[in-house]
Structure 1
């Protein structure tokens, strides 16, 4: 059980806050009493999330383009001016271009490069900029979002009979996120900054039944997860109960990667 006092005075930035997992993250962190900054490139969508949760906690919204250095700088400066501190950033945004998700043979070099730049480059930029601010204040916490497919090779057979696939860009990005996590954790060791990752399994989003059955057959019982299943792990990594954990990757997947 996480003591709310471990998190409740914190200022926590969640990128991609209007997305499926982002919404659950905002809700879970707001319920701890922390000040949550729901940051998203779609500010109106972030405001909807904040309005839905206004009775649960302190949720503020902010525009953020994780691929734009100026946008990141402005957010950090605004938060420091308003709150005087930032305790944590959750690197959760998932930018991709219109051609993302094609099968390997159909992926162009330009699309592969653009998606790597958007997603992995954005993850790097957030970690770099926030860690600079964290070092100046003497403390901070970064949680990067990776995936089971950053840990294991794709299991293409679970997609048989569907139009789905496991995009090659995703595998490259999420495995790189894990090494960035270790790199940043090592680079900032001893500065009061912690950097960790969460690797979730699949999240239920009305996928085809054949996929759900094939995926679930490799799990311990539940199969596809709900966003809240990941949010509980995030709250742990934001809390003092994980104060001595850095450079690590927590896999939450109901055993799928075994």
Structure 2
């Protein structure tokens, strides 16, 4: 008997939440899930952009899409967001815990380690890891009550699994300002990987799978110096395009990965293989 494996990747009739859904990668993630058949809740602090993406999804894909403004660092805001998704869609089958932030003060965010303030450290940790815990907590409560559990995918970073090569930042700029990778960013993204493994074993008996996607450097406005230096560190010889991360998300969200949990898929052009 012929088996149909292609349909395992379908998300038809499933409901998804994407936090940070209005971001550069987030918008691609939302559209990828919609293209695979999922209804999508675009969750972001930027309500205007989230609404634009929701409207674009409903124009181009035969699914439902809603935009929800949410401050993911506030437990009350996260709780209300999840309740709204359940009221609108009924179930939550997929959570892409994707949101992350830099800072309200980029000078503080990119400050040298020796001058880094504890207040700035706590701000980034609140945005990058506390919010992941809060969203997973409330969505996990919903998924536990569902017959088929669900799939949670969390976004980390290549610098959550390896240290940065600071040589690539010499003369490197992003959106017209000198940049680096702060220690707090690396520590928070390493925390995402650890949280994923914990949740994967904690909720396995409930039929909830939890995995991580770790993107490598992605094109998003870096200057030519950075792009060239970073690309020279990559076996494939270039930075990623945002759409190249989407395939891993669809795989982990779908039944094609029904026996995959607690894993970290690195979409890094081979950087971590050196």
TM-score, normalization by structure 1: 0.95
Residues 1:128 and 2:137 are matched in the alignment? yes
Residues 1:200 and 2:215 are matched in the alignment? yes
Cα distance between partner residues in 2 of 1:18 and 1:113: 24
Counterpart of 2:265 in 1: which secondary structure?
strand
**1:109 paired residue number:** 118
Match of 1:167 among 161, 182, 187: 182
Shift of the alpha carbon at 1:222?
4.5
CA deviation profile, 1:173-219 (whole Å, cap 9, x unmatched):
00011000000111112111000000000111121212111111121
Change (3 A) 1:48 1:235: same
- For structure 1, the residue ranges without an aligned partner over 5 or more in a row are none
**2:270 paired residue number:** 255
Which 4+ runs in 1 deviate beyond 6 A? Answer: none
Q: RMSD of the alignment, in Å?
A: 1.6
Change (3 A) 1:5 1:230: closer
**2:157 paired residue number:** 147
Counterpart of 2:225 in 1: which secondary structure?
helix
| Contact in 1 for aligned 2:125/2:184 (Cα 8 Å) | yes
Change (3 A) 1:79 1:161: closer
Change (3 A) 1:5 1:220: closer
- For structure 2, the residue ranges without an aligned partner over 5 or more in a row are 173-177
Change (3 A) 1:195 1:5: closer
1:47-66 alignment runs, 5 A limit: 47-57=51-61, 58=63, 59-66=65-72
Cα distance between partner residues in 2 of 1:211 and 1:150: 20
CA deviation profile, 1:99-138 (whole Å, cap 9, x unmatched):
3233323321111122112221011111111111111224
Shift of the alpha carbon at 1:65?
1.6
CA deviation profile, 1:8-27 (whole Å, cap 9, x unmatched):
11000001111000010011
| Contact in 1 for aligned 2:213/2:265 (Cα 8 Å) | yes
| Contact in 1 for aligned 2:8/2:255 (Cα 8 Å) | no
Cα distance between partner residues in 1 of 2:9 and 2:190: 34
Residues 1:92 and 2:98 are matched in the alignment? yes
Cα distance between partner residues in 2 of 1:257 and 1:178: 15
Cα distance between partner residues in 2 of 1:102 and 1:203: 22
Counterpart of 1:53 in 2: which secondary structure?
helix
Residues 1:18 and 2:2 are matched in the alignment? no
